[in-house]
Structures are given as C-alpha cells and as structure tokens.
A and B are shown apart, each in its own frame.
Chain A
Amino acid sequence: MAQIELTGIERCFQLGDSQVHALRNVTLTIAAGEYVAVMGPSGSGKSTLLNLLGLLDRPNAGSYLLEGRDVTTLDADEQAEVRRNRIGFIFQSFHLVARLTAAENIALPMMLAGLPAAERRARVRRALDDFGLASRAEHRPDQLSGGQRQRVAIARATILRPAVLLADEPTGNLDRSTGQDVTALMEELNASGMTLVVVTHDPVMGGRARRQILMEDGAIVSNAPGALAPPP
C-alpha cells in the first residue's frame, strides 16, 4: 500500500471573476520513504499540491488517501491532529516565532500535542544536539543565521517523528553552501525512513531527488526518475 494516494484531484480558486484551475486531475502515489521533488514554473500548482498533501487545503474533487485513510472527509480538528502527528512542514521563510527561543520554537508541536514538560525538554535537547544547535538553544531567531534558522525549523518539523516531510523551497532564502547543508540534513532524515517531498525551482536540488514530478498548468506532465526540468 502506498503511503500517499491522490486520485483525480481537482482544485479551483475563485479570483475575482475568473476561475483559476490550480490542479487538474492530479493522480499520484508516493511510497513510504520516497524522496520526491516537485518542479515546474511559477503558478504551475506545485505549492497547491504541497498544501493539499499537508492537509492545509481541501480538493474540490478527487480522493486523498494518507496511509490508507481517506483524509479529505476528516473535519478540521481531525485534520489538525493528522498534521500534528504525521506531517512536518518546512517553509522557504522558516516561519519561526520571533519572540520564542530556538528551543521553544522546536518544542511548539510537542506543546500543541500536550506532551509533558520533562519529555519535551529531553527531546528538545536531543534535537538541538542532533542538528548542531546546542549552543544556540536560548537564542531568538533574529540572533541566528539563515542556515541555523532553517535547521531550527527542520528540528521543529521532525520533533514528533512525522511520516511525511513537506518542504516548500527550503533553500530559497539561503546561500548555496548553507542550502547544501540543509539539503543534506533533509536527505539524512529521508535516509532514516521519512518520506520527503520537496517543492523547488532549483534544478540542482531537484536533480538530487530519486523521483522528479514536473508540473505545468496544474497538471503533472512528467513523473519519473531522472526527468529533469527542460532548460529554460
């Protein structure tokens, strides 16, 4: 059984008078532990697809089975629970809470899940060590470099050991070498069994994935290993 099964997904937005067809008849399966890059020009529906995979958005039609369970019919609170326990998000702009320290940012999902404070502290300490952030635990985001911020964000996304890691342009705001560090970090997590789906413009990064999905105008035009984006 595939971990993610999308069948005939449609997603339309009403923008003023015009209707935007963000996803057209998207059918896709992703197995557990896969490393997938979603590529394509702006407005091709990559981010919409990622939001849908992360249960931040609902399709207008089609079905989405996550680990064999139809998640499109869940109510908002049930979806929140799935997000909390099964899905980790990584954003281009990190989305750290500015007033909280690195350690507190990492602890956020555990706080939302209601884990006891002692266990939270232990897990945060381990994560800080694993991600090389031990000396930065009490720093606020504005005292961290871009690479450190994204590492904090990744630590936060993975602290509850989700099954799927969704990254939207994770290196978009980083220079090349820190971008490579962050990519390596995510690939390590993928190697430990976490499914990794990366949305990216960067052909180099996309090329590292074991499978590339190329989107255009809301539809998947190519879905195969080694299918790199055509040169512009």
Chain B
Amino acid sequence: MTPADTLRFATRAATGYPLRTALMVLAMSIGVAAVVVLTALGDGARRYVIDEFSALGSNLVIVLPGRSETGGVNLNSLVTTTPRDLTVSDAEALRRAPHVLRVAPLSVGNSEIAFGGRLRNVLVLGTNADFLELRRYRIGQGRFLPAEDNTRASAVVVLGATIRDELFGNAPAVGRMVRIGDRRLRVIGVMAPSGKGLGMNTDELVITPVATAQAMFDTNTLFRILIEARGREAIAPVQQQIEALLRARRGGELDVTLITQDAVLGTFDRILTTLTLGVAGIAAISLAVAGVLVMNVMLVAVTQRTPEIGLLKALGATGRNIRLAFLAEAAVLSLAGAFAGLALGHAGAWALRLAYPVLPAWPPDWAVLAAIGTALATGILFGVIPARRAARLDPIQALAKR
C-alpha cells in the first residue's frame, strides 16, 4: 500500500463518519484555539508593555535618588527612599560627561492653574529644553522651553494639549499670561496631543523651566534626571561615568539608582514571556484532553469497523497496512482539528484586537507551531493503541461480527 493510498483511504474513512469526525475536529480545534488565543493575549501584553517603555525614548538612562538594591532591576527599584537629594548641579555635572547627548532634570509638583476665571489642578513638570528631544515629544503651537541655564527661573510655561483646551477653548493660548500657584507665567507653547507614555501624559501637564518649578515648590531637589546616551553602545560607558561622577560628588557613596531602558525592558520581557509560556502550558492541557478523545474515537472506530478490518485482512492487508491506515486517520483528524483551531484562534485574536485596540494580540509564531505540533503528536500518540488493536484483530472473528 503506497503512502498516498494510505492517506486517501484514511481520509475517506474520516469523512465517511461526518458527525464523529466533526466532533473530534471540534475538540481538537478548541484545544489549539485556546493555545493560540491565550498566547496572543500573553504576547500582546508583553508587546504592549515593551512599547510603553520604548515610548520613553531611546538610549535612556534614568537617575533616581536613593538606592534600593545593588544588582539588576526589579519593580522595587522604581520606588526608592531618598537619603541625599539629587540637585540641578548634579545634572549640570552629568551634562559634561563624554558620550552624554542630553540631560533633562525633572522636578515635579502639584499646583493649580488659572486663566480667565477658570481654575484646575495641574501637574507641574520643571525641566529644560533637552526634555523635548529626549522624550521625542512634539510641540503643537509656539515653541518649547528656551535653551538657557538650568538655574534661570524664566516665567514661561508650555501647556499640555488638554490643559490648553480646557482653559482657552478655541481662543489662542500662546502669548497669554496664566497663573500657576502664586506665579504669573507667559504661555510660550502648547504640546502636540500625545499618545501613550508610561505613567506620564503630556496632555495633562504644564512644563516650566526647572528653576521656576523648584522656586514654585520651594525645593532644590530633583525628582529624576533623564540622560540620553549618544548611542545604544554608549549606554554602558555612560552608566559607568554617571556612577563614578555621582559617587565622587557624594563623598564616595553611591546613593542613587540608575535604570536603563534595556534592563527594564529585559525584565518585563522575561516576566511576560514566562507568563505567556505558562498560559500556553495551561492551554496545552486541553490538547492532551483532545488527544484522549482521539484515542476514544479511534477505539470506537476500530470496534465499529471490525468487519471491514477483517475483510481487509482477508484481501491480503498486512498488520502494518492496517496499523498505518488507522494512524493516518488519527493524524488526519488531528491535523484537520489543528487547522480549524488555528483559524478559530486567529479569529479569537482578531476579536481581541478589535475589543482592545491598544493590545497587539498577535499569537507568536512559536506558539502556533507548537500548537499544531502538539495536536499532531498527541493525535498520533493516542492513535497508536487503537491502531495496534485494529492490526491485531483476528480476521475470522472480525469477519463474523455484524
């Protein structure tokens, strides 16, 4: 019996019992679809988080006051205690280090903004001209903060898009004076409406020179210093330079935490890949269940087709012929189930993307291959016992059975 004949015979046998085959394919396809949809969800979440971090800007090193631990990055390193303040002069010193392209000090505080009788709470971000480029933000109207000394407290402000809309409506904003806290500042620009940005959205911010913000909040500490290296390969040397510089500036003690985007990305990538693998594993259990079902269905098929097996033996089929025919049938069923499941899973992932547009819920290639492979492997594996049983049937008894 040629392989093509075996396959055709098996396919005819599978299609000869449509209900049984349909149920079997359905069970297998649910298993495969579960793997595809769940991995799409997991991988979508991973990509979402990575995109969010990438939106921070590239080649970024973030300096936080305080030190929580010594090696690697975890979620704790984003929340640190403050033993010694970061100051504007630290930022100035870092600016002079080689390989450093831009340095933006950040000072943050809450205040209220008023214009023409309208008042609202607002987050004030004090920084400098480098911030715009460093975060790859775009200006909508007017211009961004002027390039000037970090210690100079110019009375200017750049508004977020939402703030502008709420305070000015359709009226022009650039050139008008607004009151923030107890200060009057001139609006010199409006940020372009931004998309996402991790935890911070420029739409709801007002941006002032760092010295202005520090004076407003009566402080000289910085919330953070953002540093952009000259290139990807410069990140590691920049990190070392920053550490050396800051250590020297604080009497040999390094009480700051450096976060590089790579480390954060790597960590989230690891966590979420593991998570995706986990859900894929859970979904794979349903494939094993489907495999048991294949075995059950094939055992029933052997019983159902006992006279046929007896006949084939009388016509000169070897045990191997019959074993291969039943194995091929199990494989055909599993493969049909796998492809139906693939279609179902992709439809599910598509529905997910439709329902949550921010989530790039595409199933990863490895998961698709693994799902099909597992479906086929379980189908064939669980097909072995029924196939052997069929091959071992005694032809006389098989023929006698009605």
Contact = CB atoms under 8 A, between A and B. Distances in A.
Query: Do these two chains really belong together in a complex?
Result: yes
Interface of A: 51, 54, 56-57, 76-77, 80-85, 87, 89, 91, 93, 95, 97-100, 104, 108-109, 111-114, 156
Contacts of B321: 80, 112
B13 A111 contact: no
Given A51-B396, A97-B311, A111 B1 contact: yes
Given A76-B318, A95-B314, 9 more contacts: A56-B399, A84-B315, A95-B307, A95-B310, A98-B16, A99-B13, A108-B315, A109-B315, A109-B316
Nearest to A160: B316
A91 B313 CA distance: 14
A54 B314 contact: yes
6 closest A-B pairs by beta carbon, nearest first, are A84-B316, A99-B16, A83-B316, A80-B318, A95-B311, A77-B318
A95 B399 contact: yes
B307 A76 contact: no
A77 B320 contact: yes
Interface in B287-343: 307-308, 310-321
Nearest to A166: B314
A11 to B, nearest CB: 11
Contact of B316 (A81, A93, A95, A99): A81
Contacts of B70: none
Contacts of A114: 1-2, 5
Q: How large is the interface on B (under 10, 10 to 19, 20 to 34, 35 or more residues)?
A: 20 to 34
Classify the interface of chain B: helix, strand, loop or mixed.
helix
Contacts of A99: 12-13, 16
B402 interface: yes
Interface in B220-251: none
11 contacts: A54-B314, A56-B313, A56-B399, A76-B318, A80-B318, A82-B316, A91-B399, A95-B311, A95-B314, A100-B12, A112-B321
A84 B313 CA distance: 9
B314 A83 contact: yes
B193 interface: no
Contact of B312 (A77, A108, A113): A108
Task: Give the most central of A54, A57, A108: most B CB within 10 Å.
Answer: A108
Nearest to B398: A56
B309 to A, nearest CB: 10
A56 B1 contact: no
Given A95-B311, A99-B12, A112 B316 contact: yes
Interface in B89-125: none
Contacts of B318: 76-77, 80-81
Nearest to A159: B315
A200 to B, nearest CB: 18
B9 interface: yes
A112 B2 contact: no
A83 B321 CA distance: 14
A91 B9 CA distance: 22
A125 to B, nearest CB: 18
A76 B319 contact: yes
A17 B79 CA distance: 83
